[in-house]
Structure 1
Amino acid sequence: MARFSYRGRNAQGQEVSGDMEAGSADLVASQLGSQQIIPLSITETETLGARSFKFDQLFAPRKVELDELIIFSRQMYSLTKAGVPIIRAMRGLQGSARSPLLADILGKVGDELESGMSLAGALQQHPKVFGAMFINMIHVGENTGRLDKAFLQLSDYLNMERETRKRIKQATRYPMLVMIAMAVALGVVNFLVIPSFSAVFAKLGADLPWPTLVLIATSNFFVNYWWAILVVLTMGAVTVWQYVQTDEGALKWDRIRLRLPLIGPIFERIALGRFARTFAMMVSAGVPMIQVLGIVSRTVGNRHIGAGIEQMRNGVERGESLLRTAANTQMFSPLVLQMLAVGEETGAIDDLFEEVADFYDQEVDYDLRRLADAIEPILIVALGVMVLILALGVFLPVWELGSVVRS
């Protein structure tokens, strides 16, 4: 990636200039063309990989938190509704932002607005902070004159996203703590307890039962080759992570996530609820159906479901009904398809999709409450099996040693 400085003319013939991050000058020209700007000159000003290191960068925030985006959207809604000019609102929020990273980005957005760029185009220069759905909603708000409504819908959407994340963390906190405790207990047993017992058993020369032999062999393997296990696990994690970063790997990983026991259906309902709510927001804002499906397919958070939504878009382009394309994906329940059919018949498809989103949110809330109840018996069984193995491996030879001593 590099930073380019450009100069050009917009659709009204006015000269505009600014900075943009991209992989090449051709990509800069392509992005300018999508914003109806004819480039006159594009000059590379900085290679981002060669920036000099500063000590304060080590502790600088890496990303803008979701809470900060919610506050930003709420503030922009209030300011735009009150008739405050966008540039003035952006400068004011830059000075009051709690996050230095967000303040820096808002300053750049203000500079791009002063150079003649639209708000959606200025936000598009920062894709790591403002996603495709955020930018497209702002674009729709600008074109329809309902920018305040767009910011209000975005704040509601982001707030729902935050609540969903909180519920997932709350439901998985207890199982994660139990799993960490089990891992620590296994480490203590393998590295400290069993080696001491094996030394005692070796001195007495008693015949050991097979559970004890298995435990001793496992402990010896961990003690002697822990470094090899650590290297293999690290290399495996890095390899998997690099593969997941590719398009093919991300698609397969998202497909696997949907098939995981217990939590797979929750991921699926979260993605479908996000699809329904975003679809309803953009349709009610007047965005064409094909464009809505194309945008939503990239914002649901799951590439496998996104591919299904892309199939829906292709079907609508061929002239098929939305109901038929949705049924062909086999992602939606009969109840949702029935509501979709009613929405197409009545023309109130945005209202019906809002109800679909509420339906999925209720299902997710119920599943998350049930998740802890479903995981708890599994954890109890796992703990029982671990205790049973340790008891058989440790106490059986103790009983054997007692008989040897008595004899």
Structure 2
Amino acid sequence: MPLLEALNIIKDLPQNKKNIAQIAGLIDQIIEGQPLSEAAAGFLPPMAVGSISAAERAGNLEENLGRLAEYYNSKAELDEKLISALIYPVFVMILSFVSVLVLIVFVIPGLKGLFSDMDSSLPPITGFILGASDAVSRFWFVPVALVGLGGLILKRIKKNDPARLEKMLFKVPFAGKLYKQELVIAGFGTLGSLLKGGTPIVEALNITASAAKSMIFKTIVLHSKEEIENGNRLSSALETKNFFPPDAIQMLKIGESTGQLDEMLINIADFQAKERELFLKRVTTLIEPAMTLGVGLVVGIVVLAMFLPLVNMISSLQ
């Protein structure tokens, strides 16, 4: 099927007006004589544009577009799995926070007047809970201000020194590992797809670096490109960075020695994606009961603190 006919069919598919306008502009530029890679430069991600450009030079555009479709479908599935795995823990976390907040701000203050009429002294745990409730009610703006200040500081760090913020993120339990896995999956998947489409390795590394969202990963890729230009292998260049999993480096070496580097990069990305999915399942399996137990413990302590004075009062009457 001719390219223009295929694009017109895509344009007529049900979609939002913005996409239709972009595809129409793409068609107009191709009619004017521009190659697809140049026409799509402001429409598609850098990785896709670079891959299409290499395919146009190699004469295998149809095959390359098919691989790009597979790559982005796979990426969408991975993102969907990540979101699905995080929805329930985040929901439980929010519900837990709201439940505790309602107890502290609304329920406990309502009982404060009852306790103040009692002649007997309050148990220590009750006094602590009442004090905490009073502090939250009076100084609620302090944690809000601290969160806002923290957000401004992080925003400033991200603007002036994004690599520093990433290093901080890498040290966060669970989140740091997930973020690094995401970088490896996206980076190796992009590089493997480009090489498989016929893009030269130096050009493929440049495109991979430009497509990377991480400043640290971008720097590693560009340094590796320089080492390859000096005659080193990709596996050797990446091994010195102490960023990638050892098993990924070993798989790269096998891919280089067998002449299947592109396939091995894609296999590493797939393997890391499965590892991330398994890691997420383990984490959510641990977090869900821990959060439920934590909320139950807090609610139990609050209920105990509220009932102890009543029990003491009844005991004194008897």
Alignment of 1:171-320 (within 5 A): 171-226=85-140, 229-230=143-144, 233-234=147-148, 236-237=150-151, 239=152, 242-243=155-156, 246=159, 248-249=161-162, 251-320=163-232
Following TM superposition, by how much is the alpha carbon of 1:224 offset from its aligned partner in structure 2, in angstroms? 2.9
> What secondary structure sits across from 1:298 in the alignment?
helix
More helix by share: 2
> What secondary structure sits across from 1:207 in the alignment?
coil
Q: Is the 8 A contact 2:154 2:165 kept in 1?
A: no
Looking at structure 2, the residues matched to 364 and 207 of structure 1 have their Cα atoms a distance apart, in angstroms, of: 54
Change (3 A) 1:247 1:103: farther
Structure 2 stretches of 5 or more lacking a match? none
Alignment of 1:319-334 (within 5 A): 319-334=231-246
Looking at structure 2, the residues matched to 122 and 174 of structure 1 have their Cα atoms a distance apart, in angstroms, of: 42
The answer as to 2:32 corresponding to 1:119 is no
Change (3 A) 1:334 1:245: closer
How well do the aligned residues superpose, as a CA RMSD in angstroms?
Answer: 2.5
Structure 1, 328-337 or 254-263: larger mean CA deviation: 254-263
Number of the residue aligned with 1:29: none
Q: Is the 8 A contact 1:206 1:404 kept in 2?
A: no
Q: Is the 8 A contact 2:37 2:52 kept in 1?
A: yes
Q: Which amino acid aligns with 2:66?
A: L
Q: Is the 8 A contact 2:82 2:277 kept in 1?
A: no
Q: Is the 8 A contact 1:323 1:340 kept in 2?
A: yes
More strand by share: 1
Following TM superposition, by how much is the alpha carbon of 1:142 offset from its aligned partner in structure 2, in angstroms? 1.8
Following TM superposition, by how much is the alpha carbon of 1:125 offset from its aligned partner in structure 2, in angstroms? 2.4
> What secondary structure sits across from 2:121 in the alignment?
coil
Alignment of 1:357-368 (within 5 A): 357-368=269-280
The structure showing larger relative contact order (alpha-carbon pairs under 8 Å, at least 6 residues apart) is: 2
Alignment of 1:3-402 (within 5 A): 82=1, 84-86=2-4, 88-126=5-43, 130-226=44-140, 229-230=143-144, 233-234=147-148, 236-237=150-151, 239=152, 242-243=155-156, 246=159, 248-249=161-162, 251-402=163-314
Change (3 A) 1:384 1:305: farther
Looking at structure 1, the residues matched to 207 and 100 of structure 2 have their Cα atoms a distance apart, in angstroms, of: 47
Following TM superposition, by how much is the alpha carbon of 1:236 offset from its aligned partner in structure 2, in angstroms? 4.4
Change (3 A) 1:208 1:307: farther
Q: Is the 8 A contact 1:195 1:216 kept in 2?
A: yes
Change (3 A) 1:241 1:355: same
Q: Which amino acid aligns with 2:159?
A: T
Structure 1 stretches of 5 or more lacking a match? 1-81
Structure 1, 396-405 or 333-342: larger mean CA deviation: 396-405
Change (3 A) 1:382 1:298: farther
Change (3 A) 1:233 1:259: closer
Following TM superposition, by how much is the alpha carbon of 1:216 offset from its aligned partner in structure 2, in angstroms? 1.8
Looking at structure 2, the residues matched to 132 and 229 of structure 1 have their Cα atoms a distance apart, in angstroms, of: 41
Q: Taking every aligned residue pair, what percent have the same amino acid on both sides?
A: 22
TM (norm. structure 1) is: 0.71
Change (3 A) 1:177 1:85: closer
State the Cα deviation string for residues 251-275 of structure 1 (Å, max 9, x = none): 3343333333234323322321222
Looking at structure 2, the residues matched to 201 and 305 of structure 1 have their Cα atoms a distance apart, in angstroms, of: 59
Looking at structure 1, the residues matched to 30 and 120 of structure 2 have their Cα atoms a distance apart, in angstroms, of: 83
TM (norm. structure 2) is: 0.89
Q: Is the 8 A contact 2:55 2:198 kept in 1?
A: no
Number of the residue aligned with 1:71: none
Following TM superposition, by how much is the alpha carbon of 1:133 offset from its aligned partner in structure 2, in angstroms? 0.8
Change (3 A) 1:257 1:163: farther
Change (3 A) 1:305 1:205: farther
Change (3 A) 1:114 1:379: same
Change (3 A) 1:320 1:125: same
Looking at structure 2, the residues matched to 371 and 244 of structure 1 have their Cα atoms a distance apart, in angstroms, of: 29
State the Cα deviation string for residues 319-354 of structure 1 (Å, max 9, x = none): 322221111011223322222222222222112223
Following TM superposition, by how much is the alpha carbon of 1:195 offset from its aligned partner in structure 2, in angstroms? 0.3
Q: Which amino acid aligns with 1:276?
A: F
